[in-house]
Amino acid sequence: MSSPSNAPADPAHSADPARVAVLAGGVGGSRFVRGVRAAFPEAQIDVIVNTADDVTLHGLRICPDIDTMLYALGDGIDSGKGWGRADETWSIMAELKTYGVEPTWFALGDRDVATHLVRTQLLAAGATATEITAALASRWIDDPLLRVLPMTDDRVETHVVIADPQATAGKRAVHFQEFWVRLHAEPPVLDVVQVGLDSARATDAVTEALTTADLVLVGPSNPVVSIGPILGVAGVRPALRATGARVLGFAGILGGAPVLGMAHRLLPAIGVEVSAAAVGLHYGPRSRPGGILDAWVMDTTDAESVDAVTRGGLPALAVPLLMSSPADTAAFIRAGVEFAA
């Protein structure tokens, strides 16, 4: 919140944004958001979260990135794994296996199932994803200035077309969760399709967050299946291109590989090289048609590509980008913001 107008401005913080909007996926996204809060302790933070990972299993609607975000921000996360609940037990899964009920490859902890039960019931009662997320967040988020917003209230699901010699056409489409969790992202990827994205619309809350922000941060989340779907929701890209805020992006690819996860298996399928520079130029500068960024932040291991990205029209900076702690993350966020100013 802003200081009283008669108080002298703190020179170190006088340029702090009052409203920050963040684009994020799950594990990487939630680590990033903890850093955003540490960087700007008094700002309103609106986190726009990918929902294209969502899946229905055993009749339960599961929103992995939203749940990871809520558990992480509410200190309820299994911090070793980076997802799922702390102190989890697995009786429900064991019972389902005993019944021989598929699928058994998606880990559904007992505590976690409670979240999916609440969501599924609220959905059946007609609540929107935005309303349900707010209801769940009231348990997890003890920060009146932080909102978690699903990218859309419409249903979007990422499917991956994989090569499969046993399938009649030599290929088949699987849900992203099956590709990621069951198949460990191993089969060759022929295409990534976001089912429902064509007709998905940004919610009013998302559009308002992007339009009223003083600063927009595109987190180091997976460019294909986390940030990509958010940018594909009708209304998001135009709002990013039109916002008066600086839009700053952070690389999740360091030295040619993702810090965690399997983004390197998916980037080639959308024609993007597995490098921080290529991802930045894929998002593109706002000065170019369709571009969304004012500046791109890469890790110091990628310092040699700063010139190439800058020549591509996108001002770039190299600083250490490992999110080892919220304080480390806050340090690189502040460095990026100072650079973009």
Give the residues lining the site for ligand GDP (CB under 6 A).
24-29, 65, 68, 220-222, 226, 250-252, 254, 258-261, 263, 321-323
Residue 23 beta carbon to ligand GDP: minimum distance, rounded to whole angstroms: 10
CB of 153 to ligand GDP, least distance (A): 20
In the complex, the smallest distance separating the C-beta of residue 91 from Ca ion, rounded to whole angstroms, is 26
Closest residue to ligand GDP using C-beta atoms: 28
β-bridge partners, 297: 250, 317
Q: How many CB atoms lie within 10 A of CB 38?
A: 17
Closer to ligand GDP by Cβ: residue 233 or 259:
259
Q: Are strands 257-258 and 146-150 parallel, antiparallel or unpaired?
A: unpaired
Which residues, 6+ apart, have CB-to-CB distance to 294 below 8 Å? Answer: 246, 247, 248, 285, 286, 315, 340
Residue 54 touches Ca ion, criterion: CB under 5 A: no
Cα torsion 54, 59, 60, 62 to 10°: value is: -10
Least distance CB 33 / ligand GDP (angstroms): 10
Interacting residues with Ca ion between 61 and 120 (CB under 5 A): 65
The entry of ligand GDP, Ca ion, none near residue 260 (CB within 5 to 8 angstroms by kind) is: ligand GDP
Nearer to ligand GDP, 261 or 336 (CB): 261
Phi first, then psi, for residue 23 (nearest 5°) are -100, 130
CA distances from residue 191 to 64, 153, 156, 173 in whole angstroms, order as listed: 22, 25, 16, 9
261 binds Ca ion (CB under 5 A): no
Residue placing its CB nearer to ligand GDP in the complex, 121 or 252: 252
For residues 191 and 46, what is the distance between their CA atoms, to the nearest angstrom? Answer: 31
Q: Which range, of 4-12, 37-45, 49-57, 296-304, touches Ca ion by CB under 5 A?
A: 49-57
Closer residue to ligand GDP, CB minimum distance, 161 or 279? 279
Provide the 8-state DSSP code for 2: P
Given Ca ion, ligand GDP, none, residue 221, with its beta carbon under 5 to 8 Å by kind, binds ligand GDP
Contact between 47 and 249 under an 8 Å Cβ cutoff? The reply is no
Member of 19, 23, 24, 26 binding Ca ion (CB under 5 A): 26
Distance CA 210, CA 228 (A): 16
What does 152 bind: ligand GDP, Ca ion, none (CB cut-off 5 to 8 Å by kind)?
Answer: none
Compute the radius of gyration of the chain from its Cα atoms: 20
The end-to-end CA distance of the chain, in Å, is: 20
To the nearest whole angstrom, how small is the minimum distance from the Cβ of residue 57 to Ca ion?
15
- Among 16, 22, 23, 25, which residue sits at the site for Ca ion (rule: CB under 5 A)? 25
User: Considering the complex, what minimum distance in angstroms separates the CB of residue 25 from Ca ion?
Assistant: 4
Choice between 84 and 312, CB closer to Ca ion: 84
- Site residue total, Ca ion (CB under 5 A): 4
- Pairing between strand 316-318 and 295-298? parallel
246 neighbors 340 (Cβ within 8 angstroms): yes
- In the list Ca ion, ligand GDP, none, the entry touching 44 (Cβ below 5 to 8 angstroms by class) is none
Question: Is residue 53 a contact point for Ca ion (CB under 5 A)?
Answer: yes
Distance between CA atoms of 24 and 206, rounded to whole angstroms? Answer: 13
Q: Binding to Ca ion by residue 29, rule CB under 5 A?
A: no
Return residues touching Ca ion (CB under 5 A). Answer: 25-26, 53, 65
